[in-house]
Each structure stands twice: as structure tokens, then as C-alpha cells.
Amino acid sequence: MAAVLMAAGVWAAEPRAAEVHQRPTTSGTAKGGAAQPKLSDVQLEAVIRAKFAKSKIGADKFTVRVQGGVATIDGNTDVVQHKGTATRMCKTAGAVAVNNRVKVSDAAKQKAAGNLEEGRRRVQVKRGDARSETK
């Protein structure tokens, strides 16, 4: 019995490396898991412009420049979500980083704020209350 207790004490006193749980990194890999080839700045710029042209944000006519793998987006938009979408599209195309200089119009900001406020009001409606005002 003493030998078992001594063995347990020695085992408990041994330093063990803590298990590290990490997600596998996805840098440099596409969705399929295959390594994405490194594109030159000109090629990356062309890929980003093609993505913009195929999407709804193509109507905003953003200008894109790539230098050292860093994409810079300039332009104006009337839809708040287009700014974030442009950034995501550049990153999925292979940009190392994105400088998003897109300006969102004041009308779009006010519309988004109004939608947010309306959504908050909907959440605050009680079960027995009418969901919208009848006119």
C-alpha cells in the first residue's frame, strides 16, 4: 500500500505539459484546404476587381490598388454593408491586409440607425401587444 501511495505521489509531482487546444491555422489555404498560390500584386488586383464586378457592390465603382499584398479600397457607397463586404472580398482574394477608405453616405448611416432603432423597438414588444401599428 505504501508503494502505491509513493508511486502516486511521484506521478502527481512530475511536471506535465499542459494540453494545448488550438484550431488549425487557415492562413494560406483556400476553403478546399489546398494551399492558395501566392499572387503578384497585379494579379491580386485583377482578382479583386473581378470579384467586385460579379457582386452587387460592383455598382459602387470602388477603386482598388494593391502594393506588397496590401489592398487599398477607395470610393463612396450608399449601403453600409458594402464597406465590410469589400474588405472581406479582398481578404478572400488573398490580400494580406486591407486599407478600407470607403466613405458611407450620411443618408445610409441614418437609414441604418433607423433600422437598428426599429429592431430594438420590435424586441421590446410584449407578447400580448400588437407587433406593428395599424394605420
Distance CA 90, CA 45 (A): 9
What pLDDT, on a 0 to 100 scale, did the predictor assign at position 34?
47
Which CA distances in Å does 48 have to 57, 61, 66, 90, 112?
12, 12, 9, 6, 27
pLDDT over 80 (residue 119): no
46, containing H or E segment: helix 41-54
In contact, 78 and 109? CB cutoff 8 Å = no
For 12-63, write each residue's pLDDT tens digit: 555 555 554 444 545 554 455 445 568 899 999 999 999 999 998 888 889 9
25 vs 117, which has greater pLDDT? 117
Strand order in the sheet with 63-67: 63-67, 70-77, 97-104
Please, what sign has the CA dihedral across residues 17, 21, 22, 24? Answer: positive
- Does the domain at 38-123 match CATH 3.30.1340.30? Answer given as yes
68's CB contacts (< 8 A; 6+ apart) are: 41, 96
What pLDDT, on a 0 to 100 scale, did the predictor assign at position 100?
93
In contact, 44 and 91? CB cutoff 8 Å = no
For 60-95, write each residue's pLDDT tens digit: 889 999 999 999 999 999 999 999 999 999 999 999
Do β-strands 63-67 and 97-104 pair in parallel, antiparallel, or remain unpaired? unpaired
